[in-house]
Amino acid sequence: MTVLTACAEAAVELNQPEPTSLFTSPDTFGKELRLQANKAAVAIAQAYDWQRLLTLGTLTGDASATAFALPSDYDRMPKKGQLHSQSFQASTFRKATDLDEWIYLTDTDLSASPGNWIIIGGQMNISPAMAVGETARFYYITNQIVAGAKTAFTADADTFLLPERLLVLGIVWRWKSSKGREYSEAMANYETALSEEIGKDRGSNILTVGRQRSSVNASFAYPRALGA
């Protein structure tokens, strides 16, 4: 389904004439749908850490760099996102809880193994500096939500990477809202569909039989001796 097709379906729901183009026609209604389509797409992408948008990033040390540029398509880290060390097997870099702790950690020798990290000023900061060839790998959410490595719809033939029915429903309630019309039912339909699609994206839960000894996310605060 293209963005034009999605907007045409939305137009039917809105009892409006179907647009023939969103980007080349001077039709006001088409332009309004185009605007709402892009707003809806961004909102859908931000609503959940979709599997379709997960991307693996890799940073490589040179024994001196402690700040690395984030990928050009970086939007955000997923919830519980971590940096994984390839050199220290089964180990993750420890995330500083806030800026004050980051300053404290970098001013002292309280470094975890393999190190600490935080995102500041659009850069991934890692301390201490990784050795030459050492890598830190992490999953992030890309901002490219439209096929063809695009961040927004710019042509009638563009296609959305996430569930298309959400796009249609999102356009409908947003257009109604922009016109001052009653949109509560349309918004409720969208939110119900969003919950359903998120449930599908998560997949089935694994049933663990017996007592779990520790959390899979458990880690030591400082895995090595202080001052070592």
What are 141's strand-pairing partners?
A: 54, 76
Pairing relationship of beta strands 67-69 and 94-95 according to DSSP bridges: unpaired
Q: Are strands 54-60 and 135-142 parallel, antiparallel or unpaired?
A: antiparallel
pLDDT at 205: 55
Clarify whether residues 82 and 123 are in a common domain.
yes
* Domain carrying residue 187: 3-49+162-192
Mark whether 62 and 133 lie in a shared domain: yes
Q: State whether residue 145 is helix, strand or coil.
A: coil
Q: Based on DSSP, count helices (H) and strands (E) in the chain, helices before strands.
A: 5, 8
List CB contacts of 20: < 8 A, sequence separation 6 or more. Answer: 27, 30
Residues 7 and 33 in one domain: yes
Within-domain flag for 223: no
Task: Clarify whether residues 63 and 137 are in a common domain.
Answer: yes
Domain's final residue, options 142, 177, 210: 142
Final residue of a structural domain among 142, 175, 209: 142
Same domain? For 115 and 63 the reply is yes
Residue 51 DSSP label: G
Q: Note whether residue 64 is domain-resident.
A: yes
Residue 204 lies in a domain: no
Neighbour-count burial of 149, counting CB atoms closer than 10 A to its CB (0-12 exposed, 13-18 middle, 19+ buried)? exposed
Instruction: Judge if 58 and 138 occupy the same domain.
Output: yes
Final residue of a domain: which of 79, 109, 142? 142
Please give the chain's pLDDT, 228 residues, in tens. 999 999 999 999 999 999 999 999 899 999 999 999 999 999 999 999 999 999 999 999 999 999 999 999 999 999 989 999 987 766 789 999 999 999 998 888 766 678 999 999 999 999 999 999 999 999 999 999 999 999 999 999 999 999 999 999 999 999 999 999 999 999 999 999 999 999 999 875 544 444 544 444 444 444 444 443
Same domain, 29 and 62: no
β-pair type (94-95, 116-120) = parallel
* Same domain? 44 vs 63: no
Q: Does 87 reside within a domain?
A: yes
In a domain, 88, yes or no: yes
| pLDDT for the residue numbered 220 | 44
| 81 and 123 within one domain | yes
Q: How many domains does the chain have?
A: 2
pTM: 0.85
Answer yes or no: is 17 within a domain.
yes
Same structural domain for residues 107 and 181?
no
The whole-number pLDDT of residue 228 equals 37
The verdict on 98 and 167 lying in the same domain is no
Same domain for 8 and 60?
no
In a domain, 149, yes or no: no
Give the whole-angstrom CA distance, residue 46 versus residue 48: 6
* Residue 80 counted as domain residue: yes
